[in-house]
């Protein structure tokens, strides 16, 4: 279904692989029926008002963030741990996500599965996800059950415990998850390989779900060691949004989470990505009919500060919206609509991470139209960048993008869960609760000249990694599917 | 963007619905002069408005040879606006820019039963006025551009061809064919059926189905009754030229007369397993026992029997579920899961055993209580945002439910007994006569 939609602020932080509904930059949940967690929305509390969120530090070093919203008698409660796949080591990739699964498997006072049974009885909806940078456990609940939910979450955060055979069973489930998300999807596999080429030193190179070989080799002790190493109060934040009183919640959090013993968080190795000094290129050959082209350019990260690279990051965000922020934006117009009889792509997109604990990339993607080569699609994507570099953008385009984001800020108020999620992700990135407001305000300072300037500076081949998913008929299996393939229409 | 947006800070007002004396959702309802039925829930705390128009024009109205017509119509409806007296045409880019500049969203889609049009807009007066006017133009004067249909059809066909590489496509096709037979719910959109659809067909489909006399308009947001009236009036005036053409009856889904077993070879990382049969229609008097029962069987997520047996105890699957899809016709009941190919037979056996035992014996008292606790205690989560309010209101409208449906909802869940569930499931499900489809299994 075509839809005229604004590039809601979540595009600001879209991570690699959300572009074409394929690979996952955020692994969903311990028990979703295959759904992928939605991208973190980035909008903040009301523009121009005092921040509605408040932040505290508990006596044991755990962070507490509270954002009251009394529209409805429900609450979103999240526990964020600043550990994700980027904190793993080679050989045990995927352990952060496995641990997320094992957090549901018991404590000294709860049998495996009992956590979820109790949550369900309270009327809570609950789940968890793991990303490159974080692991988050979340519940949505009626506000009169907040204390019970907090007690359950605090207990498993502090006292996770399970027998080895629980681990063995759950590893089978995790492998099915990998099969479902990755092995089954040529595009997902391609993105996995693309990440590993884009980042050579930085742990962003590894998949969140983990390489299958590492999953096969994982041991219960790997998971217990990881838990012990990273799950301490100073490395975690509780984020609560909804029908709550700040003072009461703070007292409750101190009472329930506060007693968890403080421990020092381990030092992290920087694993800086060396500067890329030349183009990289790969093919991924698979059983597909449609090719896919991905161009990844190394880009700066927004830190919330005042460095020139911060302003560049904001300008890059605007650029991605100008290219792909609404129906009929530049990539849509040039590649998908194309000139009569000369469509380049069936779909095309741009995305840019903006924020993250690790290095960022600006991505351009295209699915070439039938009869169009990947090389032609690549050239067309680059031509759009060159056009901005050469001719700049118009003030109307810039205004349109800001309008969409501003409207998105308002629509975003409708979801208390999204607000909690956003506050948590700012904390993960080491930024404050006013980040949303600050981001919107800074975005408004971006000028057309700045957008043109970043288009000129960040898109040379030196910073480029290219991946092409190539249809390879030789990969067709000997056993044919049951029905003959439908005939292709011709126009 | 208008500065008045910044004053929204002052407008935070509680949505008053926590008092026991008040309705769970206070729905205002009236009938417009055109016959359209209107449902309004004022929600003043955020300066936004969601509108949804639903009509009888879903894919069940397709013809088999033109499967995909309703969806294609919804897609092309959005493309361009024709010139009207005093107003210029808007091509796809002018239209895209116009919506973006309003910070508003306009969409259309077709499900099995419904043809839906939606608008999301801010309620700052100028923006609201312009967004409603533009939406009315889209409803009144779609341009049905041939060249855009050619383009979108090519793109869709390319995606369909690509989808043939995925085992799930084959599983869904085989399952739908087995369960629905020739009923429209099972129609398969294919390149051939899309190639049989012309712009004239879509124009005709739209005119026949987008009728004010049958329309249901739901509105949730920061507007009052008078504003809602004006908005509905503009929209219904826009579609008045479509008239009120009578629509033919669509047959009900026939029950299966014998079990069906399809094993389809496929080279994949996982086997796809789907087991099911026609379910029940939405108006079935056992609606509550059936959904509570399904919550226990496989709809309640982590605490369900299927998850417990297939995933937790045996590690066979990451995702396993059961669902009913009650509509105007008996949408499918389905148990679905994916698993490693060499485990497919075992997974089928476990799923069948769980289902048979459930239909034969029903849930336990403890399971029933747990399901009720979850559904009743979690009720507030069903209505705590404008988006959820809209979906609930549209559902009440579409299914002809009483306006106070949500007031009684938790009580009706509480009233469900073990006997109710056993009776309902025995009547509706026949495990010995189900369709089983496995794609990519390896013995």
B260-439 has the same fold as B3-242: yes
Mean pLDDT for A67-93 is 97
Q: How far is A407 from chain B (nearest CA, A)?
A: 5
Residues of B in contact with A367 (CB under 8 A): 158
What local confidence, expressed as pLDDT, does residue A48 receive? 38
Share of chain B above pLDDT 70, in %: 95
What local confidence, expressed as pLDDT, does residue B18 receive? 39
Closest CA to A82 of A432, A435, A430, A428: A428
Check the CA dihedral B109-B115-B121-B127 and report its sign. Answer: positive
What local confidence, expressed as pLDDT, does residue B9 receive? 34
Instruction: Report the distance separating Cα B46 and Cα B123, nearest Å.
Output: 9
> How would you label A127-158 residue by residue, b for 16+ Cβ within 10 Å and e otherwise?
bbbbbbbbbbbbbbbbbebbeebbebbbbbbe
pLDDT level of residue B10 (50, 70, 90 thresholds): very low
Domain ranges of chain A: 11-256, 280-472
Give backbone dihedrals phi and psi of B57, rounded to 5 degrees, phi first. -175, 30
What local confidence, expressed as pLDDT, does residue A477 receive? 63
Report the Cα–Cα distance between both ends of chain B, in Å, rounded.
62
What number of other Cβ atoms are within 10 A of residue B152's Cβ?
Answer: 19
Mean pLDDT for B419-425 is 98
Q: Is B299 in CB contact (< 8 Å) with chain A?
A: no
Closest CA to A27 of A134, A125, A105: A134
Read off the tokens for A269: 């190795």
Cβ within 8 Å, pair A1-B75: yes
Instruction: Report the distance separating Cα A361 and Cα A298, nearest Å.
Output: 5
Q: Is A179 in CB contact (< 8 Å) with chain B?
A: yes
Q: Is A51 in CB contact (< 8 Å) with chain B?
A: no
What local confidence, expressed as pLDDT, does residue A26 receive? 53
Read off the tokens for A107: 């404590």
Cβ within 8 Å, pair A4-B383: no
Which residue has 């919206």 as its token pair? A321
> A176 pLDDT exceeds 60?
yes
Mean pLDDT for B159-177 is 97
Q: Is B376 exposed, middle or buried (0-12, 13-18, 19+ CB in 10 A)?
A: middle
> HSE (CB half, 13 Å, CA atoms) of B365?
0
What local confidence, expressed as pLDDT, does residue A441 receive? 96
B370: nearest CB among A71, A117, A479: A117
Q: What is the pLDDT of residues A154-174, one digit of tens each?
A: 999 999 999 999 999 999 999
Cβ within 8 Å, pair A3-B321: no
* Lowest-confidence region among A333-347, A395-409, B162-176, B411-425: A333-347
What local confidence, expressed as pLDDT, does residue A298 receive? 98
For residue B142, give the DSSP letter: B
Asked if B429 contacts B354 with a C-beta cutoff of 8 angstroms, the reply is no
Q: Is A5 in CB contact (< 8 Å) with chain B?
A: yes
Question: pTM score, two decimals?
Answer: 0.91
Return the residue in B103, B198, B202 with the most chain A beta carbons within 10 A, the one to mutate for interface testing: B103
What number of other Cβ atoms are within 10 A of residue B257's Cβ?
Answer: 8
Q: Is B377 in CB contact (< 8 Å) with chain A?
A: yes
Mean pLDDT for A467-472 is 97
Give contacts of A 203-222 with B, CB under 8 A.
none
What local confidence, expressed as pLDDT, does residue A420 receive? 98
Q: Average model confidence (pLDDT) for chain B? A: 94
Check the CA dihedral B422-B425-B431-B433 and report its sign. Answer: positive
- Hey, is B32 helix, strand or coil? coil
Give contacts of B 214-253 with A, CB under 8 A.
none
Q: Is A484 in CB contact (< 8 Å) with chain B?
A: no
> A25 pLDDT exceeds 90?
no
What local confidence, expressed as pLDDT, does residue A43 receive? 34
Read off the tokens for A2: 């075509």
Q: Is B391 in CB contact (< 8 Å) with chain A?
A: no
Cβ within 8 Å, pair B157-A120: no
Q: Average model confidence (pLDDT) for chain A? A: 89
Cβ within 8 Å, pair B9-A48: yes
pLDDT level of residue B93 (50, 70, 90 thresholds): very high
What local confidence, expressed as pLDDT, does residue A475 receive? 83
A403: nearest CB among B17, B100, B314: B100
What local confidence, expressed as pLDDT, does residue A334 receive? 97
Which residue has 């002052």 as its token pair? B10
What is the interface pTM, i.e. ipTM, of the complex? 0.93
Chain centre distance of CA A1: 24
Mean pLDDT for A122-127 is 97
Nearest CA in chain B to A346: B155
Check the CA dihedral B72-B78-B83-B89 and report its sign. Answer: negative
What local confidence, expressed as pLDDT, does residue B302 receive? 84
Residues of B in contact with A168 (CB under 8 A): 315
> HSE (CB half, 13 Å, CA atoms) of B10?
4
- Hey, is B25 helix, strand or coil? coil
Mean pLDDT for B139-143 is 98
Closest CA to B307 of A103, A117, A165: A117
> A49 pLDDT exceeds 90?
no
What local confidence, expressed as pLDDT, does residue B300 receive? 87
> A24 pLDDT exceeds 80?
no
- With vertex at residue A156, the alpha carbon angle to CA A153 and CA A160, rounded to the nearest 5 degrees, is 165
Which residue has 């009580």 as its token pair? B411
Q: What is the pLDDT of residues A416-428, one digit of tens each?
A: 999 999 999 999 9
- The CATH H-level superfamily of A280-472 is Metalloenzyme, LuxS/M16 peptidase-like (3.30.830.10)
What local confidence, expressed as pLDDT, does residue A34 receive? 30
Cβ within 8 Å, pair A486-B192: yes
Q: How far is B229 from chain A (nearest CA, A)?
A: 23
Helix (H) / strand (E) containing B48: strand B48-56
Cβ within 8 Å, pair B5-A410: yes
Helix (DSSP H) and strand (DSSP E) numbers for chain B? 15, 11
The residue length of chain A stands at 491
What number of other Cβ atoms are within 10 A of residue B245's Cβ?
Answer: 11
Which three-class secondary structure string do you get for chain A?
A: CCEECCCCHHHHHCCCCCCCCCCCCEECCCCCCCCCCCCCCCCCCCCCCCCCCEEEECCCCCEEEEEECCCCCEEEEEEEECCCHHHCCCCCCCHHHHHHHHCCCCECCECCCHHHHHHHHHCCEEEEEEECCCEEEEEEEEHHHHHHHHHHHHHHHHHCCCCHHHHHHHHHHHHHHHHHHHHCCHHHHHHHHHHHHHCCCCHHHCCCCCCHHHHHHCCHHHHHHHHHHHCCHHHEEEEEEECCCHHHHHHHHHHHCCCCCCCCCCCCCCCCCCCCCCCEEEEEEECCCCCEEEEEEEECCCCCCCCHHHHHHHHHHHHHHHHHCCCCCHHHHHHHHCECCECCEEEEEEEECCCCCCCEEEEEEEEECCCCCHHHHHHHHHHHHHHHHHHCCCHHHHHHHHHHHHHHHHHHCCCHHHHHHHHHHHHHCCCCCCHHHHHHHHHCCCCHHHHHHHHHHCCCHHHEEEEEEEECHHHCCCCCCCCCCCCCCCC
Mean pLDDT for A20-32 is 39
Read off the tokens for B296: 């226990």
pLDDT level of residue A125 (50, 70, 90 thresholds): very high
Domain ranges of chain B: 3-242, 260-439
Q: How far is B190 from chain A (nearest CA, A)?
A: 7
Closest CA to B333 of B286, B392, B274: B274
Pick the CATH number of B260-439 from 3.30.70.940, 3.40.50.9100, 3.40.190.10, 3.30.830.10: 3.30.830.10
Residues of B in contact with A4 (CB under 8 A): 78, 95-96, 99-100, 104-107
Q: Is A325 in CB contact (< 8 Å) with chain B?
A: yes
Q: Is B153 in CB contact (< 8 Å) with chain A?
A: yes
Cβ within 8 Å, pair A483-B45: no
What local confidence, expressed as pLDDT, does residue B414 receive? 98
Asked if A117 contacts A152 with a C-beta cutoff of 8 angstroms, the reply is no
Mean pLDDT for A327-335 is 96
Give contacts of A 150-169 with B, CB under 8 A.
168-169
Q: Is A395 in CB contact (< 8 Å) with chain B?
A: no
Instruction: Report the distance separating Cα B91 and Cα A90, nearest Å.
Output: 53
Give contacts of B 275-294 with A, CB under 8 A.
none
What local confidence, expressed as pLDDT, does residue B22 receive? 61
Q: B3-242: what CATH class? A: alpha beta
Which residue has 């570099």 as its token pair? A389
Instruction: Report the distance separating Cα B364 and Cα B373, nearest Å.
Output: 14
A257: left (phi over 0), alpha (psi -120 to 50) or beta: alpha
* Lowest-confidence region among A178-187, A335-344, B265-274: A335-344
Pick the CATH number of A11-256 from 3.40.250.10, 1.10.150.130, 3.60.10.10, 3.30.830.10: 3.30.830.10
What local confidence, expressed as pLDDT, does residue A473 receive? 86
Helix (H) / strand (E) containing B180: helix B167-180
Cβ within 8 Å, pair A415-B190: no
Closest CA to A292 of A362, A340, A353, A349: A349
């Amino acid at each position: 279904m075509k839809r005229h939609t604004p590039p809601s602020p979540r595009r600001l932080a879209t991570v690699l692989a959300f572009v074409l509904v394929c690979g996952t930059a955020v692994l969903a949940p311990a028990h979703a029926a295959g759904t992928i967690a939605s991208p973190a929305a980035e909008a903040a509390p009301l523009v121009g008002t005092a921040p509605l969120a408040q932040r505290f530090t508990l006596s044991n070093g755990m962070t507490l963030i509270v954002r009251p919203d009394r529209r409805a008698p429900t609450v979103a409660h999240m526990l964020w741990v600043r550990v994700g796949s980027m904190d793993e080591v080679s050989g045990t990739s995927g352990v952060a996500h496995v641990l997320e699964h094992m957090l549901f498997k018991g404590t000294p006072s709860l049998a495996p599965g009992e956590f979820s049974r109790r949550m369900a009885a309270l009327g809570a909806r609950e789940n968890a996800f793991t990303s490159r940078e974080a692991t988050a456990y979340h519940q949505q609940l009626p506000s009169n059950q907040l204390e019970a939910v907090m007690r359950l979450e605090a207990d498993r955060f502090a006292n996770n415990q399970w027998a080895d055979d629980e681990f063995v069973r759950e590893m089978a489930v995790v492998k099915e998850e990998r099969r479902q998300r990755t092995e089954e999807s040529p595009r997902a596999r391609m993105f996995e390989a693309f990440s590993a080429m884009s980042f050579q030193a930085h742990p962003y190179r590894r998949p969140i779900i983990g390489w299958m070989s590492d999953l096969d080799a994982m041991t219960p002790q790997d998971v217990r060691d990881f838990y012990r190493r990273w799950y301490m109060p100073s490395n975690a934040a509780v984020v609560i949004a909804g029908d709550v009183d700040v003072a009461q919640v703070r007292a409750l959090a101190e009472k329930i989470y506060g007693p968890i013993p403080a421990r020092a968080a381990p030092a992290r190795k920087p694993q800086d990505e060396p500067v890329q000094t030349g183009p990289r290129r790969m093919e991924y050959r698979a059983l597909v009919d449609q090719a896919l082209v991905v161009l990844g350019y190394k880009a700066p990260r927004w830190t919330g500060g005042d460095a020139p690279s911060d302003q560049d990051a904001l300008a890059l965000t605007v650029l991605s919206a100008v290219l792909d922020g609404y129906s009929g934006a530049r990539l849509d117009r040039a590649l998908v609509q194309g000139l009569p009889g000369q469509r380049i792509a069936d779909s095309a997109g741009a995305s840019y991470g903006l924020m993250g604990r690790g290095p960022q990339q600006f991505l351009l993607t295209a699915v070439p139209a039938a009869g169009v080569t990947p090389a032609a699609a690549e050239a067309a994507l680059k031509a759009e960048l060159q056009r901005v570099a050469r001719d700049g953008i118009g003030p109307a385009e810039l205004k349109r993008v800001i309008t969409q984001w501003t409207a998105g800020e308002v629509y975003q108020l409708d979801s208390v869960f999204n607000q909690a999620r956003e506050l948590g992700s700012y904390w993960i990135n080491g930024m404050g609760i006013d980040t949303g407001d600050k981001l919107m305000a800074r975005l408004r300072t971006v000028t057309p000249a700045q957008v043109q300037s970043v288009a000129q500076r960040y898109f040379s081949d030196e910073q480029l990694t290219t991946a092409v998913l190539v249809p390879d008929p030789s990969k067709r299996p000997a056993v044919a599917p049951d029905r003959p393939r439908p005939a292709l229409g011709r126009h | 963007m208008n500065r008045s947006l910044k004053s929204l800070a002052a407008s935070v007002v509680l949505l008053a619905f926590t008092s026991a004396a008040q309705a769970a959702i206070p729905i205002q309802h009236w009938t417009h002069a055109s016959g359209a039925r209107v449902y309004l829930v004022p929600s003043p705390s955020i300066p936004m408005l969601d509108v949804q128009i639903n009509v009888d024009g879903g894919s069940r109205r397709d013809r088999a040879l033109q499967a995909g017509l309703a969806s294609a119509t919804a897609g092309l409806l959005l493309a361009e606006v024709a010139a009207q007296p005093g107003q210029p045409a808007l091509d796809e880019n002018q239209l895209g820019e116009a919506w973006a500049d309003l910070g508003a969203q306009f969409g259309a889609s077709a499900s099995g039963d419904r043809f839906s049009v939606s608008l999301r807009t801010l309620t700052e007066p100028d923006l609201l006025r312009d967004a409603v006017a533009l939406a009315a133009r889209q409803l009144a004067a779609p341009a049905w551009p041939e060249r855009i249909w050619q383009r979108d059809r090519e793109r869709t066909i390319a995606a369909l061809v690509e989808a043939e590489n995925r085992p799930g496509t084959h599983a869904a096709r085989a399952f739908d064919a087995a369960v629905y037979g020739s009923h429209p719910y099972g129609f398969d959109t294919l390149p051939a059926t899309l190639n049989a659809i012309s712009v004239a067909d879509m124009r005709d489909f739209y005119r026949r189905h987008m009728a004010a006399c049958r329309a249901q308009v739901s509105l949730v947001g920061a507007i009052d009754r008078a504003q809602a009236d004006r908005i509905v009036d503009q929209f219904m005036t826009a579609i008045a030229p479509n008239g009120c053409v009578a629509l033919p009856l669509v047959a009900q889904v026939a029950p299966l007369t014998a079990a069906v077993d399809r094993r389809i070879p496929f080279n994949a990382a996982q086997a796809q397993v789907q087991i099911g049969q026609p379910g029940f229609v939405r108006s079935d008097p056992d609606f509550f026992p059936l959904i509570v029962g399904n919550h226990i069987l496989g709809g309640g997520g982590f605490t369900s029997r299927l998850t417990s047996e297939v995933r937790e105890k045996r590690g066979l699957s990451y995702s396993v579920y059961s669902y009913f899809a009650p509509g105007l016709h008996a949408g499918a009941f389905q148990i679905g899961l994916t698993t490693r190919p060499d485990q497919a037979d075992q997974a089928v056996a476990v799923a069948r055993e769980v289902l048979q035992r459930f239909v034969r014996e029903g849930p336990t008292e403890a399971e029933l209580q747990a399901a009720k606790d979850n559904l009743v205690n979690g009720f507030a989560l069903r209505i705590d945002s404008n988006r959820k309010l809209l979906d609930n209101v549209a559902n009440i409208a579409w299914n002809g439910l009483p306006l106070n449906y949500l007031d009684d909802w938790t009580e009706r869940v509480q009233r469900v007994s073990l006997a109710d569930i056993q009776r309902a499931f025995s009547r509706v499900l026949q495990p010995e006569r189900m369709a089983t489809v496995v794609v990519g299994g390896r013995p």
